[in-house]
Amino acid sequence: MDILLLNPNTSDGMTVRMLSVAQSHAAPGTTILSRTAPRGVPYISTQAEALVGGAIALEMLAAETASYDAVIMAAFGDPGVGALREMLHVPVVGMAEAAMLTACMLGRRFAIVTFAAALTPWFRECVEHNGLTGRLSAIRCLAESFISINDVQSEKEEALVALTNQVVADTETDVVILAGAPLSGLAERVKHRIPVPVVDGIAAAVKQAEAVASLHLCKASAGSFRRPGGKPSQGLEPGVARWLGGAIVPPPTKDHPETD
């Protein structure tokens, strides 16, 4: 199958890192392709930035001509995932949602550890949105600043491991999520230094995207993620305007062509 990893941040270095992690966890026969946002911010850390990133992701996919079996929203907070599920006819997997659901399969309560304090309110709202507040033991972040977003995991590895172990010691935590696209791949490197399972969001998203896509389930025609009816619009990107107008649908998958 073909899975698209969509980075709504503008950092190409971050995309390269996440693509490498995704490819290392993909099953034989799975191809991971990637796209980086052409505009926006280097990394999303606030609700306003997430709103911008989600809109840009919608534009990017509306302009795509290739077909995919699943799409991964590669930002921990899943900007625009709900909108993409409305419009696309293939599964859309959020990095944060995948990490949290995987954590719930590994233990009763999970903690989220990240690298910047600005991320905490957004991540907490993401937990609430997914109905998992009762499973969350803590959200912890580093207090000190970092030099480079592309190098933050190597720069802060020791501090992140120490913070993670402190959270495990201080709370009823069964699983830890190292959260944020810039931390992709760190869990694999440090898991032997932490006494509970450590989840990587991209690794979890790849395996869940493969699993859901392999079920070949139909596109919802009722409920929250049904495709809405068409309506006119003004001043939007052409692909988005066509989607909202209902004139065309996103490209069908290779194995499941769209039918009227």
Mean pLDDT for the chain overall: 89
- Single out the residue of 68, 29, 88 nearest to residue 255, CA to CA: 68
What pLDDT shows up at residue 71? 96
**What is the residue whose two structure tokens read 């992701």?**
57
Q: What percentage of the chain exceeds 90 in pLDDT? A: 67
Cβ atoms < 10 Å from Cβ of 235: 5
- Single out the residue of 122, 126, 162 nearest to residue 144, CA to CA: 162
Digit-coded pLDDT (tens) for 66-122: 789 999 999 999 999 999 998 888 999 999 999 999 999 999 999 999 988 888 888
What pLDDT shows up at residue 175? 98
What is the torsional sign of CA 15, 19, 20, 22? positive
User: CB–CB of 122/79 below 8 Å?
Assistant: no
Residue 252 has pLDDT above 70, yes or no: no
> What values do phi and psi take at 105, rounded to 5?
-80, -15
Cβ atoms < 10 Å from Cβ of 61: 24
Sketch out the chain's domains with CATH numbers: 2-95+207-245 (3.40.50.12500), 107-199 (3.40.50.12500)
Residue 168 has pLDDT above 50, yes or no: yes
> 70: which residues sit within 8 A by CB, 6+ positions away?
1, 3, 4, 90, 91, 92, 93, 209, 210, 212, 213
**What is the residue whose two structure tokens read 């919608």?**
58
Q: How confident is the model at residue 254 (pLDDT cuts 50, 70, 90)?
A: low
What pLDDT shows up at residue 45? 84
Q: What would the mean pLDDT of 240-249 be, rounded to a whole number?
A: 73
Residue 250 has pLDDT above 60, yes or no: no
Helices within the chain (DSSP H only): 12-25, 47-62, 81-87, 95-106, 120-129, 152-155, 157-170, 186-190, 201-214, 238-245
- Single out the residue of 1, 30, 29, 32 nearest to residue 15, CA to CA: 32
Residue 256 has pLDDT above 50, yes or no: no
User: CB–CB of 19/49 below 8 Å?
Assistant: no
Tokens of 127: 């937990």
Digit-coded pLDDT (tens) for 172-213: 999 999 998 999 999 999 999 999 999 999 999 999 999 999
d(C-alpha 95, C-alpha 180), whole Å: 9
Residue 246 has pLDDT above 90, yes or no: no
Residue 48 has pLDDT above 60, yes or no: yes
Digit-coded pLDDT (tens) for 214-229: 999 888 778 887 777 7
What pLDDT shows up at residue 243? 82
